[in-house]
Amino acid sequence: MDNKPLILLVEDEEGISNFISAILTANDYSVIKTGKGGEAISLTASHIPDLILLDLGLPDMDGIEVVKNLRKWTAIPIVVVSARGHEREKVEALDLGADDYITKPFGSAELLARIRTELRHSNKNTQAGGAEAGSITVGELRIDYEKRCVQLEGKKLHLTPIEYKIIVLLARHIGKVLTHDFIIREIWGPYTNETQTLRVNMANIRRKLEKNPAEPKYIITEVGVGYRMAEEV
Ligand code: CA
């Protein structure tokens, strides 16, 4: 019997592919590998992996197209692997339904943390109501959804309704990066361009939330992409 989570690794560079699969195997994951986008789609259908690690630069098709195809019929978590500086393609992949990204070069600790987060989220989503716990605590930060109350070191934070909504949105997706567009859509609705407003709100939130707003611990900036609430501080 084998209950190890199964990861589909889609990476055409052999060195990187071997490096990643060695890390995964050593950490009790089962791995299937391919270097092609078309094969990634058919292997997903035939093996139903628990998670897909997807390089965006593939020889036969664009990784973005793979995300688009997969999201038509499956919600299996997708973590895209992308080169440094390719912010726009990461944002596109996330907006098309990828769950997170990791930038090359990365270390094994970062890779494993991303995978754990995604597997935890997808397990929660399959348990009825599991993701809707009444409160969440990270370090000294506590958010009580029912009382609509955010506390830091036991003291209530005075937040505007918009600031509260932003914090709750990030907390509901804790550990995951949310793109600027996603946050704006969720808070202000579609067909708006509130990029500057989001930035101003985030600055205000950090002033209230972070000891040193220039080096935030709770809400991390993903440069050119969006924001992520840390699972641990
Ligand atoms: Ca590649």
pLDDT at 132 over 80: no
pLDDT(125) > 90: no
What is the CA(59)–ligand 1 centre distance, in A?
A: 7
Q: 4 C-alpha to center of ligand 1: Å?
A: 26
Q: How many helices (H) and strands (E) does the chain have?
A: 8, 12
What does CATH list as the number for 135-229? 1.10.10.10
> What are the structure tokens assigned to 151, written together?
């506390």
Ligand 1 geometric centre to CA of 231 (Å): 30
Sheet strand arrangement including 177-179: 177-179, 226-229, 219-222
Q: Which CATH superfamily is domain 6-128 in?
A: Response regulator (3.40.50.2300)
Mean local confidence (pLDDT), 22-51? 96
The 10s digit of each residue's pLDDT in 51-90 is: 999 999 999 999 999 999 999 999 999 999 988 788 899 9
What is the percentage of the chain residues whose pLDDT exceeds 90?
77
* Domain-wise residue ranges, the chain: 6-128, 135-229
Q: How far, in Å, is the centroid of ligand 1 from the Cα of 118?
A: 22
Which tens digit of pLDDT belongs to each residue from 36-49? Answer: 999 999 999 999 99
30-34 and 141-144 strand pairing: unpaired
